[in-house]
Structure 1
């Protein structure tokens, strides 16, 4: 049996070990802030929750077990043995303060959660969860037959656990439980334990490729994340096994969409036999209780084409499962998990005159992946007539021993279907301007003092020969800033002009006296280049989303304090 564990750090790689499974795990995290006597977490106070999942219907077949190198007290506050999959399916968060059971594995767990005093090692995590002896131990501890576990029909769901002290109470929680608990507390957990519960714990494990209905994580791996991001995408790893299952699971993929956005969801339909206008194919998309059916699909033998539906995402963050079926041919995917996220969060905090960052170093500008062009097409067919005479000779006797032959044949159209391909393309271009706030004193249009605001305007152009049902214009723009190392906080833009020539400007700043559409540069920012970046998002085509990154630079010289003059009040 072969076990492969996939990770991505700088580049993806695959490693093999004895045991019988393939892992789907990646890891991130970062530094850990100091806690207080009432709220703290110690390095190594951790474990991993493991649940055996039946793949075809995603049903847990064992009670989860919590592996840990520690000996946590049975009286600590916990939420029971509930897996992330069960929470996603509607299980509620139920606190209890007794009966906590953990398992000390025969082979000690590697470090899982990163901190300033301990760095989780990818190689060690990989080696541990691909070790055949560990897989056998998990089967034995859960009471599940090892040979059944590795026959290809089952997967291991892994979830990091942190043992923390919160408000003086010792607690155990997975990343998913921490996010649910923080929602109940209206941010109370995040306010005290953010570096652990909303960074290092959820980023200790996440998926490289989508599986069991959970999407792959393509967001930041070393900054704080939201409750919604944790609930939908973080704090889990999966081990799968190579033997072919007796009942193949439906093919799956995952997308990430933004809330309240027009999107295009597409699949590829292939066929080994021609699909003709006499019996065209139909593809149905089932989304959030509604069905969308694409009809009159024709494809020549051995060919394929994209089939898609345009729909609008819900206004609240959630996970949407899209089921796809076809009357003929073979679909590239039959189930899509769409993670719908809200971008309008993680706004920069109110800048203060007392803010300092003496250790700041100008970060390098990140390069997000870009896709600026797309191509796709549609097959059509018309009948090519080819008339041939079908002879049918008959002997006509004259009654005197003679006679003659008469052809009682007929004309028959032995034609065929000619297929035509209509190709479409789309390309995205954009530019951006960064300028000092029009209400602030400036040195020039490209120079300003720190502490003042900047205006960011972006302009996009979508060029395409496709009908409007095939495409959308740009719908979102989001800007990141150097003082936050282009992470942690961002600003969403409003759509200023809609359509294929969409333009964007910053949302009004809640900390601006005039509600200006600006971002305030920090007072402490050093003299030199100040370069915000902006990502243009949600330009949808059947060939996927077009996106690109923009940046423009303004020069900081001096700060706003130099514009203030303090003098004694004149007296009469």
Structure 2
């Protein structure tokens, strides 16, 4: 009974801010939000109070991986939503899930216990206590468990957390949308600021500021920024529009205590980026410049322009040292504020765990073919750059002066000595660039295998690998790198324990890779030997391709290919009588 009672009271909502602490049973947490006046809209671009909801995703506490299809809760009938981005959470997007607009049927759930007010409409903050109380209520959690398709006991057994994201239902350019705060920011990036220009109070202020963390969790930081002004897309994506329901026994993943802000491989081209926020307009008359100081050298980006209240990535491309070490990077600017002024980078070797020399005596009688790991990769991303053009607005500036004429009855007259003055303004435009990494992997029997047939071979012979990659981008090629590292894993080692670091055979945006020369190969071949004991069937290797850098981060790809094992090398041996003269 004591256990049951503690389970009923163990949920705690970890949504900001520190100004209003609260306790829920055996848990702790707090919640706050910001916002402002919604402004005025039009029939083409408008949001109505109450058109809101919350997306709920079950997350495994041990590794912060989403384990459920997100469900959208709302008090209203939102069946008239025309466009949305599917059921994806903030974690899904961070892990590289594609961001695609869809016109498919939008599904939602009206909870039996109505949601409290989530998004402020400018008439005052939402009821913080009501939101906290709702998402830590036993009956609500039981109802959520049913909606998600699990039991209350399993949901609250300490193995899971709930990720909450506020949703807004609004009309944009005449179409009804459903978006989380993260989706609104990502969509605005794709539209080059088009969403922000029409719906800024909702999409970039009241929606993202309706939930944020007071304590870092799931890899997201505690938010300590402004709660009264519109936020840049980058800040929303990294820090806003989320809350976490944590159950009493939920373990926190062990933090990586290395004090590094970034990790790079030795002897590679990398791109280091920071976000420059503009509290006030940065225009071409007085542009910003950002300087990176790395290993005794300085790299300066000039001519940066950003509209008031927005932001832009600023980056530097550089080559890492050939030996492992710590590199301290400092960043400075003459305008705006930077997301980081100091970056501590760990330069690490790409180490190989070389498979042992295979022998004829090797056995593994209990072997079962493992599943290929579900590696999370991100093969595409986008970033934006602001530009500005002057829009002239000519106005007549009066300058009346009295001109004396003594011989006139009036004694003179007023004459306008004015002039035309350009009272124009800077019009900003955001150009969005994209980059994508594609690759093909070909695993085949080694050419020295005398009985190979296509992709079928005997176990005990070697396999060779060929990887062709392509880095595509709409930006200048100087702003990206091709793939630079590749590591291949094998089923006989359960895709762990031992692996091979591949040689980069050609560099650039179309890099190719192959095995290193095998020290156990009689002919010094670039092969990996399959174990003699491997069972007949598919032999699948998988490769992680990495270090393809863009201003928005590193791209990577997971590749697999297989050969078919049919028999072993002993089947190629033939016994016959010794001929006698």
For Structure 1 versus Structure 2, the TM-score category normalised by the shorter chain is 0.5 to 0.7
CA deviations 1:440-498 (Å, max 9, x no partner) are: 12341111111110011111122212112211111122110001111121111122232
| Counterparts of 1:467 and 1:16, CA distance in 2 | 56
Give the match for residue 517 of structure 1.
Answer: 526
Do 1:436 and 1:442's aligned partners in 2 also have CA atoms closer than 8 Å?
Answer: no
Q: Could you say if the C-alpha distance between residues 482 and 237 of structure 1 is closer, same or farther in structure 2, counting changes exceeding 3 Å?
A: closer
Give the match for residue 473 of structure 1.
Answer: 482
CA deviations 1:504-558 (Å, max 9, x no partner) are: 1111111111111111111111111100001111111111111111101111111
Q: Secondary structure at the match of 1:556?
A: strand
Q: 2:506 aligns with which of 494, 497, 513?
A: 497
Give the match for residue 437 of structure 2.
Answer: 428
Tell whether 2:308 aligns with 1:308. Answer: no
Q: Could you say if the C-alpha distance between residues 16 and 264 of structure 1 is closer, same or farther in structure 2, counting changes exceeding 3 Å?
A: farther
| Counterparts of 1:208 and 1:568, CA distance in 2 | 70
Do 2:392 and 2:422's aligned partners in 1 also have CA atoms closer than 8 Å?
Answer: yes
CA deviations 1:347-400 (Å, max 9, x no partner) are: 111112222222211111112112121111211222222222211111222225
Q: Could you say if the C-alpha distance between residues 403 and 210 of structure 1 is closer, same or farther in structure 2, counting changes exceeding 3 Å?
A: closer
How far 1:430 moved relative to its partner? 1.5
| Counterparts of 1:413 and 1:208, CA distance in 2 | 52
| Counterparts of 1:208 and 1:313, CA distance in 2 | 29
Give the match for residue 454 of structure 1.
Answer: 463
| Counterparts of 1:521 and 1:258, CA distance in 2 | 29
| Counterparts of 1:374 and 1:236, CA distance in 2 | 27
| Counterparts of 2:424 and 2:289, CA distance in 1 | 25
* Aligned alpha-carbon RMSD (Å): 3.4
Tell whether 2:411 aligns with 1:405. Answer: no
Q: 1:531 aligns with which of 537, 540, 544?
A: 540
Do 1:283 and 1:294's aligned partners in 2 also have CA atoms closer than 8 Å?
Answer: yes
How far 1:259 moved relative to its partner? 1.3
Give the match for residue 442 of structure 1.
Answer: 451
Unaligned stretches of 5+ residues in structure 2: 1-11, 15-23, 31-60, 64-156, 159-216, 222-252
Q: 2:358 aligns with which of 326, 339, 351?
A: 351
Q: Secondary structure at the match of 2:498?
A: coil
| Counterparts of 1:442 and 1:270, CA distance in 2 | 63
| Counterparts of 2:501 and 2:436, CA distance in 1 | 23
Tell whether 2:306 aligns with 1:284. Answer: no
| Counterparts of 1:428 and 1:284, CA distance in 2 | 29
CA deviations 1:270-302 (Å, max 9, x no partner) are: 112110112111112222232222111111112
Q: Give the TM-score normalised by structure 1.
A: 0.56
Q: Secondary structure at the match of 1:532?
A: strand
Query: Which is worse superposed, 297-306 or 402-411?
Result: 402-411
How far 1:566 moved relative to its partner? 5.6
Q: Secondary structure at the match of 1:561?
A: helix
Do 1:26 and 1:237's aligned partners in 2 also have CA atoms closer than 8 Å?
Answer: no
| Counterparts of 1:452 and 1:438, CA distance in 2 | 10
Q: Secondary structure at the match of 2:502?
A: strand
Give the match for residue 555 of structure 2.
Answer: 546
How far 1:338 moved relative to its partner? 2.4
Structure 2 counterparts to residues 237-248 of structure 1, below 5 A: none
| Counterparts of 2:560 and 2:488, CA distance in 1 | 9
Give the match for residue 261 of structure 2.
Answer: 254
Do 2:13 and 2:29's aligned partners in 1 also have CA atoms closer than 8 Å?
Answer: no
Do 2:439 and 2:469's aligned partners in 1 also have CA atoms closer than 8 Å?
Answer: yes
Do 1:492 and 1:506's aligned partners in 2 also have CA atoms closer than 8 Å?
Answer: yes
Give the match for residue 342 of structure 2.
Answer: 335
| Counterparts of 1:275 and 1:396, CA distance in 2 | 44
Structure 2 counterparts to residues 110-509 of structure 1, below 5 A: 254-400=261-407, 401-509=410-518
Q: Could you say if the C-alpha distance between residues 5 and 279 of structure 1 is closer, same or farther in structure 2, counting changes exceeding 3 Å?
A: same
| Counterparts of 1:471 and 1:261, CA distance in 2 | 12
Q: Secondary structure at the match of 1:469?
A: helix
| Counterparts of 1:237 and 1:508, CA distance in 2 | 35
| Counterparts of 1:314 and 1:258, CA distance in 2 | 9
Do 2:434 and 2:473's aligned partners in 1 also have CA atoms closer than 8 Å?
Answer: yes
How far 1:18 moved relative to its partner? 7.9
Do 1:276 and 1:299's aligned partners in 2 also have CA atoms closer than 8 Å?
Answer: yes
Structure 2 counterparts to residues 73-84 of structure 1, below 5 A: none
CA deviations 1:60-101 (Å, max 9, x no partner) are: xxxxxxxxxxxxxxxxxxxxxxxxxxxxxxxxxxxxxxxxxx
CA deviations 1:2-26 (Å, max 9, x no partner) are: xx999xxxxxxxx9978999xxx97
Give the match for residue 79 of structure 1.
Answer: none
Q: Could you say if the C-alpha distance between residues 334 and 367 of structure 1 is closer, same or farther in structure 2, counting changes exceeding 3 Å?
A: same
Give the match for residue 557 of structure 1.
Answer: 566
Q: Secondary structure at the match of 2:546?
A: strand
Do 2:402 and 2:415's aligned partners in 1 also have CA atoms closer than 8 Å?
Answer: yes
| Counterparts of 1:529 and 1:509, CA distance in 2 | 23
| Counterparts of 1:555 and 1:395, CA distance in 2 | 100
Do 2:537 and 2:565's aligned partners in 1 also have CA atoms closer than 8 Å?
Answer: yes
| Counterparts of 1:304 and 1:271, CA distance in 2 | 6
Q: Secondary structure at the match of 1:343?
A: coil
Do 2:445 and 2:452's aligned partners in 1 also have CA atoms closer than 8 Å?
Answer: no
How far 1:208 moved relative to its partner? 7.5
CA deviations 1:192-226 (Å, max 9, x no partner) are: xxxxxxxxxxxxxxx97599xxxxxxxxxxxxxxx
